Amino acid sequence: MTITTTTHLNFHGRARKALEFYHSVFGGHLTTATYADFGMPADAPGAENIVFGEVRSADGFRIMAYDIPGQPAGGAGGTTRRENGVTITDQPFFVSVRGDSLDEVTAYWDALSDDASIIEPLAASAWSPGFGMLTDGFGVTWILDVATSETAG
């Protein structure tokens, strides 16, 4: 038996933009369906919002997102910051991306950094040749690092 976990992000009217952005970063296939696609009258408020969205790449990246019905436009919420060398957060999750090489992780970092707040710059750490943390323009906090023999698998 095999299982797969997938991060599912919940937005307030910004799921399409977020998914399009993540697709531009990670490539792969983008799938979206609106509430109207599932039968909501096209002229109803929120009918154009995403009820199902996914980015899936051949190298294993997968993320899902939707717009919470009846919510005003806005980000994913929560804040994360560094204080005195400690990460302080009220977010219930981070999205973690682990690559095999520093070049691979740096490419993702550079793309995700667009309009982001850098919490911890991508740099060598005690456990990885590259580790960084940022909150993107959609309010999602990402941890990126390079796999080592201890963290791989």
CATH number at residue 55: 3.30.720
Both 84 and 140 in one domain: the answer is yes
Which of 67, 89, 119 represents a domain boundary (last residue)? 67
Instruction: Give pLDDT, residue 140.
Output: 93
Instruction: Give pLDDT, residue 108.
Output: 95
Strands (E), 48-104: 50-56, 62-67, 80-83, 86-89, 95-99
For residue 56, the SS3 value is: strand
Instruction: Give pLDDT, residue 147.
Output: 87
Instruction: Give pLDDT, residue 87.
Output: 67
Q: How far apart are CA 38 and CA 25, in angstroms?
A: 28
- 141 half-sphere exposure, CB direction, 13 A CA radius: 20
Q: Is residue 123 part of a domain?
A: yes
- What is the β-pairing status of strands 86-89 and 50-56? unpaired
Residue 84 sits in a domain of what CATH number? 3.30.720.110
Q: How far apart are CA 80 and CA 15, in angstroms?
A: 21
- Which residue positions in the chain have pLDDT lower than 70? 1-3, 71-78, 84-87, 89-90, 92, 150-153
Both 63 and 86 in one domain: the answer is no
Query: What sign results for the dihedral spanned by CA atoms 105, 107, 113, 118?
Result: positive
Both 84 and 141 in one domain: the answer is yes
